[in-house]
Chain A
Amino acid sequence: MPDKPAHDAETGSVELTNNREEIAALEERVVGRIEDLGYPKSARFAVMLALEEAIANAFQHGHRDLPDDTPIQVTFRVTKDHVQITVEDRGAGFDPRDLPDPTVEENISNPSGRGMMLIRAYMSEVSHNDRGNRLSMTYRKP
Chain B
Amino acid sequence: MTHTDSRLRVKQQDGITKVEFIDRNILDEANIQSIGDELGAMIESASDPKLLISFANVDHLSSAALGALITVNNRVKGKRGQLKLADIDPQIYEVFVITRLNQLFDIHDTSDQAAQSFA
Report the Cα distance A113→B13, complex, angstroms. Answer: 35
Given A42-B91, A108-B101, A118-B99, CB of A52 within 8 Å of CB of B27: yes
Report the Cα distance A37→B95, complex, angstroms. Answer: 25
In the complex the two chains form, is B60's CB within 8 Å of A48's CB? yes
Complex partner residue of A49 from B95, B101, B104, CB under 8 angstroms: B95
> Which of B59, B62, B70, B101 gathers most chain A CB within 10 Å?
B62
Instruction: Render B91-119 as a binary contact track against A, CB cut-off 8 A, 1 for contact.
Output: 10001001111011000000000000000
Given A20-B28, A20-B30, A112-B67, CB of A56 within 8 Å of CB of B62: yes
- The answer to the question of A11 belonging to the interface, with a C-beta cut-off of 8 Å to chain B, is no
- The answer to the question of A132 belonging to the interface, with a C-beta cut-off of 8 Å to chain B, is no
| A111-138 at interface with B (beta carbon < 8 Å) | 111-112, 114-115, 117-118, 121
Complex partner residue of A45 from B66, B91, B103, CB under 8 angstroms: B91
> Which of A42, A102, A114 gathers most chain B CB within 10 Å?
A114
17 A-B pairs within 8 Å (CB atoms) are namely: A20-B28, A45-B91, A48-B60, A49-B62, A52-B27, A53-B62, A53-B63, A103-B99, A103-B100, A108-B100, A109-B73, A110-B70, A111-B70, A112-B63, A114-B63, A114-B99, A118-B98
